[in-house]
Structure formats: C-alpha cells, structure tokens
Structure 1
Amino acid sequence: MKFKIEFSGHENIRSNHQKTIEITKESHLTPQGDCIVGVNANHACADLPQDLKEKLKNPDSKITFSIDVGEHNFTIEGKGHPDLILTHDEDIVIRKSDFVCPRTLAVKCDKASDLLPREMVSMLQDPKTKGTFTITVD
C-alpha cells in the first residue's frame, strides 16, 4: 500500500534534527523547527485512510518513507507500533525512538532529518520547491 503527500519548501528549513523528520500542513516555520523538511502538506496524521492507519499500527509492518525533491530521493525505513494514535490535524513525525504521540507516524526509523542530503535541503529552502513524501507499507 502506497500513500503520497505533497508538500512545499520554506526559507527556514534546516533539517538538522538527529532523531526525527517532520512535515506539516502549517505554512509558517521558525528556524527552531529543525526537524521539519516540508510545509503546506496536503495531509497530516488525522487525514490518512483508515486501512493505512491499521497497517501502521502493526509492529510487524515494514514501512518505507521516500522523500522526493526534484531529481533527489531520500529513503527511510521504520516500524509500526500498536499504540500509534495518528490523530494530529497538522503534523506527521517519524522518529528514531519509540516515542508515540498524536503526531507520530512511525518509530525506530533508521534515519532522521540530519541525514537529508544538503542539496535537497538547499532546494527545500526555496518556498517554490515542491516535494513528495511517500508512505509504503508492506
């Protein structure tokens, strides 16, 4: 099962957080939001289809996330968790830890925003840049 989320860049994207990656529906971003890689997303946790949410709650699910910006691709692998809430109206966060809150989409991910290629980060610092965040659950 695949689900795509479109998002935009923002001049304050830093992408240097060592534990999380976030995309948000919000349009405003301060430099403190150092895990955020995209704004103006067209979906948040609460908007995901119910069948996808069920698969994300399965701890045996293999979840792959792909961030595509121009010719660049960044892939992250993570795990589902039975305690996922998936109700946040604005944000999606994937985490290296196993912390769960309404914004958490996956846990035990193998990468965080600090590993996003710097060329991608530079492109995402332009508000005109568009990106795609793809969730694939096997």
Structure 2
Amino acid sequence: MKEEVVRARGHENVSARHASTFEVTSDDWLTPAGDCILAVDADRTPADFDPAFVDACRNENARIVATFEVDGVTERVEGHGHPDLTFEGDRSMVGRTSDHTDDRTIMLGAAFAAEGFDRELVDALADGAELTLTLRVGGGADD
C-alpha cells in the first residue's frame, strides 16, 4: 500500500455542505462560497505526489482511502482510482462522488462528500484546527 501525507489547517469559513465533493487547498484563504473545502494552507498538492503513488491510483481497481485526522477525530472516505487521474493540480485536491476527472481529482466514487463529514471534525476545522490527511492506495495491479 502506497501513501501520501498532507498537512493543512481549518478556516473560519469551513462549512462542509457540498453534496458531491470534498477539497483541501493550498490557498491560505477561503470564502463562504467554498462549501466543499475542508482545509486550507496545505503543505502539498497532487503535483507533489510520488509518481509510484500516482501510477497506483491510475487503476480502476485501485482502492483509495483518505483519512482525515483533526483534534482526535478521524474520518475515513473510500473511493477508487481511474486511468484518467493526472494528479497535476498544483493548488488543491478534490475527492468526488462522481466519475468526473480533472487535474485536481484524487479519487472517484467517494463514499460521501463534504456534507457527510462528522460535524465534530467540521466544527474543529471551522475553529482553525490542524488537519493531517493521509491518502492510501491499494488493490491495483502493483499491490
């Protein structure tokens, strides 16, 4: 199993109300309209990920798990990979419940989007808490 770790922080405008995506951005600001964004000021983006991790995610059979840890609260979201994932985004990373891909997409078919996150975790992020996001991929051809 391959993994990538991203550190970011919450922001007062985190609402986690989006129905089809969740996002972590390297931007250091967030407007109330960004209802899919869970954290800002990420120390890494998909463009920084190891090529072996990216290759593993480019398999439709790959199982991708995003684990969010904030103030002792942990949330796990599972999704899958796809050959069209590029991981070229240099600003943000997006998990999607759909099968839409762009350069920011880190998983497809996510079990839930921002609105499904534990409200205790969301409240901590809205208070500016630190986030550790661990992305793991397995189940592909090389796993």
Counterpart of 2:39 in structure 1 is 38
Render the CA deviation track for 1:43-76: whole Å, top value 9, x for unaligned: 1111111110001111111111100101101100
Offset of residue 6 of structure 1: 0.5
Instruction: Output the TM-score relative to the length of structure 1.
Output: 0.97
Letter paired with 1:103: R
Structure 2 CA distance for aligned equivalents of residues 69 and 91 of structure 1: 19
Counterpart of 2:141 in structure 1 is none
Counterpart of 1:58 in structure 2 is 59
Letter paired with 1:31: P
Letter paired with 2:88: T
What percentage of residue pairs aligned between the two structures are identical? 33
Counterpart of 1:136 in structure 2 is 136
Offset of residue 121 of structure 1: 1.1
- Which 5+ residue runs of structure 1 have no aligned equivalent? none
Number of positions where the alignment pairs a residue of Structure 1 with one of Structure 2: 137
Offset of residue 135 of structure 1: 0.5
- Which 5+ residue runs of structure 2 have no aligned equivalent? 139-143
Counterpart of 2:111 in structure 1 is 110
Render the CA deviation track for 1:63-98: whole Å, top value 9, x for unaligned: 111001011011000000001121111100010000
Is 1:47–2:53 an aligned residue pair?
A: no
Letter paired with 1:96: T
Instruction: Output the TM-score relative to the length of structure 2.
Output: 0.93
Offset of residue 34 of structure 1: 0.3
The alignment partner of 1:63 has SS state of strand
Q: Which runs of 4+ in 1 moved over 2 A?
A: none
Offset of residue 32 of structure 1: 0.4
Match runs of 1:1-138 below 5 Å: 1-127=2-128, 129-138=129-138
Aligned-residue Cα RMSD (Å) equals: 0.8
Offset of residue 120 of structure 1: 1.0
